[in-house]
Amino acid sequence: VGTKAVRTARASKPGVDAGAGAGERSYHHGDLRQALIEAGETLLAERGVEGFSLRECARRAGVSASAPAHHFGNATGLLTAIATLGFEGLAVAMQRAVRQAGASPQARLQAIGGAYIAYALAHPARFRVVFGSLPLDRGDAALAAAAKRAYEMLAAAIAALPGRASVPQDSAKADLVLAWSSVHGFACLALDGQLPLGDAKDRTAALRKLTRQVVERLPRGNR
Amino acid sequence: VGTKAVRTARASKPGVDAGAGAGERSYHHGDLRQALIEAGETLLAERGVEGFSLRECARRAGVSASAPAHHFGNATGLLTAIATLGFEGLAVAMQRAVRQAGASPQARLQAIGGAYIAYALAHPARFRVVFGSLPLDRGDAALAAAAKRAYEMLAAAIAALPGRASVPQDSAKADLVLAWSSVHGFACLALDGQLPLGDAKDRTAALRKLTRQVVERLPRGNR
DNA sequence: TGTACATCAGTGAACGCGCGTTCACTGATGTAC
DNA sequence: TGTACATCAGTGAACGCGCGTTCACTGATGTAC
């Protein structure tokens, strides 16, 4: 009975199977790791941090409750993988924004801020895992590397502003905190639905104002 | 046995009993509502959002598992009460900061920002309940009133800045979002331990820089 | 090309646990007369 | 001041549930010869 139920569940999601002509999947999943991560994100998006469970992820991936242990060990392992994706996605989104923003350092920094917020709103589950209070394996190497990459993109964008070369390091740090705080706060409040902004147009306007002012208020070094 | 255990638990927290000479508490608690709220906050602080449960709150208050239902109905009710406290405390803290900051509108706004962050760091559990993803009864009248009070303090402080009378309403809204985002983001990142700031001194310096710049960059209306 | 075997990736039953909630109950308190 | 009674605020046993994790197992795959 169990096997049949699994097959039915899988058959309802065609196109996920790797190889194998028919819609049926074989005993092995193909890419359970990936499927569990996706299930986890969907679950978090649907039920929030409270509703997350490893068993439900397994259920959604069409797999027995004990299967996830082979890939992630435990729930923290899966959440850590999702958080890593979150940092990586953030870095990629910021990278892309920089490329599209042209050569002006100001425009680039502004674009990074916009990309940060857009990413948070597009992937609320990932964002909440990264910056929420769920248990993560903070010692995980992949997680730390992804976090560092995202962090350094922001730092580099600030350092590239005119006149910043002469800014002392701890002052540069404080400026990074300032810029990051603004953008991060906006993302959090927007995600929580706390912002007193009516429609998406209001929000876009406020967002643009915010990123512009963040750029403008970063002091130049040589004054 | 149950009753005895309860008595022992209560006896270990002297001074909580209302009236009654001896350390023993009677059948009635005295102020269970308050005790449950405090237990909830401690629990959240200790175990985070994940570790919260109504039963554990009852246990810590030295009371049976079914007692909380008399006061809060369910877990969401207790969390809503904590969130209400959070907004009220935030409003009170900001109020106090304004009073101590003197007459200058700039200094007042800056003080409000500092008070917001200080409150978040001093009451992480409340702050996380207010702005986290835990289920709350958003229709609760007390909660809505407290939220409104806190929100309007910030709005009033911004409106009191020189030249702001002529700023159109939607632009004022966007400015409020800007100021709130900066301060809120700083508080969130600091709570999550994400800020690359070494000690409390670093943090205070960054905080001061942040609130100052927020104030300076709010545009005047009459230009 | 065939065969033996190791390894990988899954199953499914079982465990013990803590949870929220319900229920009939009872001790303590307050109020009317 | 005393008594009857309503109401309030708790008890504790019981329920069914979903959870994470363990365990012996087995089907599928890959590799050595």
- Distance (Å) from the alpha carbon of B100 to chain A's nearest alpha carbon: 25
pLDDT tens, residue by residue, B51-84: 999 999 999 999 999 999 999 999 999 999 999 9
Q: What is the mean pLDDT of residues B114-121?
A: 97
Phi/psi at B178 (5° precision):
-60, -50
Selection from A25, A19, A34 nearest residue A71 by Cα: A34
Instruction: State both tokens at B213.
Output: 């710049």
pLDDT: is B151 or A19 the higher one? B151
Mean pLDDT of chain A: 86
Which amino acid does the sequence have at B167?
V
- Supply the pLDDT for residue B191: 93
- Higher pLDDT pick, A29 / A79: A79
Predicted confidence (pLDDT) per residue in A126-135, tens digit? 999 999 888 8
Nearest by CB to residue B181, choosing from A170, A173, A186, is A186
From residue A167, give the alpha-carbon distance in Å to each of A105, A182, A219, B213: 16, 21, 9, 17
Return the C-alpha torsion angle A133, A138, A143, A148, nearest 10: 100
Q: How far is the CA of A65 from the C1' of C12 (A)?
A: 9
Q: What's the pLDDT tens digit per position in B167-184?
A: 998 889 889 999 999 999
- The whole-number Å distance from B28's CA to C26's C1' is 12
Q: Where are the alpha helices (DSSP H) in chain A?
A: 2-11, 32-47, 54-60, 68-72, 75-100, 105-122, 124-131, 141-159, 169-191, 200-217
Stated pTM of the model? 0.88
Question: Which chain B residues are closer than 8 Å to A205 by Cβ?
Answer: 174
SS3 of B68, please? helix
* B196 secondary structure, DSSP code: -
Is A208 a residue whose pLDDT tops 50? yes
Question: Which positions in chain A have a beta carbon within 8 angstroms of at least one beta carbon in chain B?
Answer: 48-50, 128, 131-135, 151, 170, 173-178, 180-189, 192, 194-197, 202, 205-206, 209-210, 213, 216-217
Instruction: Kindly tell me the burial class for residue A20, based on how many C-beta atoms sit within 10 Å of its own C-beta (0-12, 13-18, 19 or more).
Output: exposed
Determine the nucleotide nearest to B69 by Cα–C1' distance.
C21
What residue in B sits closest to A53 (Cα-Cα)? Answer: B50
Total Cβ atoms within 10 A of residue B156: 13
Of all nucleotides, the one whose C1′ comes closest to residue A73's CA is D21
Question: What is the identity of the amino acid at A204?
Answer: T
Alpha-carbon dihedral B152, B157, B159, B161, rounded to 10 degrees = 180
List of chain B residues whose C-beta atoms are within 8 Å of the C-beta of residue A216: 217
pLDDT tier, B24 (very low <50, low <70, confident <90, very high otherwise): low
Lowest-confidence region among A16-20, A109-113, B91-95, B147-151: A16-20
Alpha helices (H) along chain B: 2-11, 32-47, 54-60, 68-72, 75-100, 105-122, 124-131, 141-159, 169-191, 200-217
Binding residues for strand C (Cβ < 7 Å):
A 1-3, 6, 27-30, 32, 63-67, 70-71; B 26-28, 53-56, 65-66, 69, 74-75
